[in-house]
Structure 1
Amino acid sequence: MTAHKRNPGGGRRRKRSAGRVPGRLTGGLVALAVFAAVGGAVVAWLPSDAQRPPTATAPSGSSVTAPSDSSVTGSPTQSGTPAPPRTGEPPGPDRSSAAAGPSSTPLPDSGPGTFVTASGEGRKVGRGTPLRYRVEVEKGLTISPADVAAQVERTLADPRGWTADGHSAFQRVSSGPTDFRVRLATPGTVDAICAEGGLDTGGKVNCSVHDDVMVNLRRWVLATEFYAEDVVGYRSLIINHEVGHFLGHGHVTCPGEGRPAPAMMQQIKGLHGCVPNVWPYDRDGRLITGPAAP
């Protein structure tokens, strides 16, 4: 997902190698327009948000009804359009409480900006020296850090993920040095951290800035109109897209009608003839990509 950069002249993240590389900056995905206004900004709601019950407008938050069945992929984007086939669901068991989720989850607009780290350590996945990462959840959220960590680990371990490039490897840790962090946070906290790198997330989207993969709580819970019935799959797309930016991958667009949408495509803006897909590689180890896009 892409955030608008406040300073268009900035550079794009280079391909990382083993070990810690400082100061990376890339955007996540945005599907809204941000207009300058006196005293602040006016932000257009995403279509997927507009079709759902209203959420909290105060820091204390309120409860929002999430999709009741997140086990199938795709949602009609126009009236009468049939849902596409399953594409986002990883193989094997993938139904932790974070994946299935409660029927409603509080969605506060802002939080304290401090985080709880998921405990424990995961196994190494991929070849070579692993990139060490922590999973953190902003304090005050009702979502379990352990559940978020389980989703992130499953996504990065999937054979269709970034390890299919033959040289990327990952390992989740809870202490010691890290190469990057995956942080689930309220829209206000995401905006503040992404703004430190010159990105404007407008309260609605994710970003990858410096060594932080920032996940917007609204996207984690509500997904988008294209994944309204596959929230679990969309969470994997968030992780694959933003970690892909951290690894140095830029945006691409749809490669052709009826083909899988690349994970590095800004799918929140529309599928442009492609079908939903959350994985960087297919089951045969081929990169799913398309023409370069801004």
Structure 2
Amino acid sequence: MTAAAAFLYLDAPWQDEDAAAAGREASRAGSAPATPTPEVSASPKASRSPKASKSPTASPEADESVDPASVPKSGPGTFTVARKGVSSGGGGKYRYRVEVEDGIGVDPDSAADDVAEILSDPRGWSTGGASFRQVADDSAGLVVRIGTAKTTDKLCGDYGLDTGGEVNCRGGKNVMVNLDRWQLGSPTFDGPATGYRALIINHEVGHWLGHGHETCPGKGKPAPAMMQQIKGLEGCTSNAWPYDRNGHYLGGPSVP
């Protein structure tokens, strides 16, 4: 495993090229990463997510039988902070908080379990040296929010990003997860919705850690977690994780 110097994106806000348009169409039809300081508000990004070789444990309300019609498109815009898993002790390089929009049918503590499992998975960013500790206060340098499409659009719009009711975004310390993607996955993802969650978290947290987009390294190889897999795999196979089980980084050429 190769060590890399830490770096941060401090440029102006931007979003994935054609991300919202690609998401709407979809609904109709290397080198080791770097590590940042959590307090920094890095550049926002809007993006999407795909497949894990082994899915993290699903929240009870997010099994594969979820009826799309049952997933609300709008909510009150208020959030409840997850308390389960919160640690008051030391450990964990980066502090994060999980929040879920009220009244949308997702239990905050169950969602926090999923996020914690993804962040601690040996195929995740922890292999690159990024350890995380869940908190429930303003000491969090990273905030993961799960909300309805309308709320996601509004909060991402505050960063000048157009998520089009379809995709997720990351702005400053905030990762905004579209409820549709959390509960239903994506029609372009070769795997269950619970596996797709791993790509959502790994891709957006990867942006927060300072990583830009990557592209397919070769036909038949796993797509990088930092690839915009929603726009097509370019010969790669769906993959949600930045590392394989042997600790090798599953990267690809950087996208300018």
* TM-score normalised by length of structure 1: 0.69
The structure carrying a bigger helix percent of its residues is 2
* Alignment partner, residue 280 of structure 1: 242
Mapping 1:1-294, distance limit 5 Å: 3-4=16-17, 17-21=36-40, 23-29=41-47, 87-90=52-55, 94-98=57-61, 100=63, 103-104=66-67, 106-122=70-86, 130-166=93-129, 168-227=130-189, 229-294=191-256
Equivalent residues of 1:18, 1:129 under 8 A apart: no
SS in 2 for 1:207: strand
Alignment RMSD (CA, Å): 2.6
User: How far is the alpha carbon of 1:200 from its aligned partner?
Assistant: 1.1
User: How far is the alpha carbon of 1:226 from its aligned partner?
Assistant: 2.9
SS in 2 for 1:89: coil
User: How far is the alpha carbon of 1:120 from its aligned partner?
Assistant: 2.9
Equivalent residues of 2:60, 2:110 under 8 A apart: yes
SS in 1 for 2:176: strand
Cα 1:229/1:239, change in 2 over 3 Å: same
Amino acid at match of 1:278: A
- Partners in 1 of 2:248 and 2:228 — Cα distance? 20
Equivalent residues of 2:175, 2:205 under 8 A apart: yes
Equivalent residues of 2:39, 2:173 under 8 A apart: no
- Partners in 2 of 1:97 and 1:218 — Cα distance? 16
Provide Cα deviations, 1:139-173, integer angstroms capped at 9, x if missing partner.
1101111111111000000001001112x110111
- Partners in 2 of 1:129 and 1:148 — Cα distance? 19
Provide Cα deviations, 1:224-244, integer angstroms capped at 9, x if missing partner.
123264111101100000000
Cα 1:101/1:225, change in 2 over 3 Å: closer
Provide Cα deviations, 1:89-137, integer angstroms capped at 9, x if missing partner.
14xx72441553653362222222110111133469xxx7521111111
Amino acid at match of 1:17: P
SS in 1 for 2:137: coil
Amino acid at match of 1:285: G
Cα 1:149/1:208, change in 2 over 3 Å: same
- Identity among equivalent pairs (%): 46
Equivalent residues of 1:180, 1:211 under 8 A apart: yes
SS in 1 for 2:98: strand
Cα 1:177/1:290, change in 2 over 3 Å: same
Cα 1:16/1:258, change in 2 over 3 Å: closer
- Partners in 1 of 2:154 and 2:143 — Cα distance? 16
Task: Count residues in correspondence.
Answer: 225
- Partners in 1 of 2:107 and 2:136 — Cα distance? 15
Comparing both chains, which one has the higher relative contact order based on Cα–Cα distances under 8 Å and sequence gaps of 6 or more?
2
- Partners in 1 of 2:121 and 2:85 — Cα distance? 17
Higher CA-based Rg: 1
Equivalent residues of 1:3, 1:200 under 8 A apart: no
* Alignment partner, residue 37 of structure 1: none
Name which of structure 1's ranges 186-195 and 223-232 shifts more when overlaid on structure 2. 223-232
The structure carrying a bigger strand percent of its residues is 1
* TM-score normalised by length of structure 2: 0.79
- Partners in 2 of 1:228 and 1:108 — Cα distance? 24
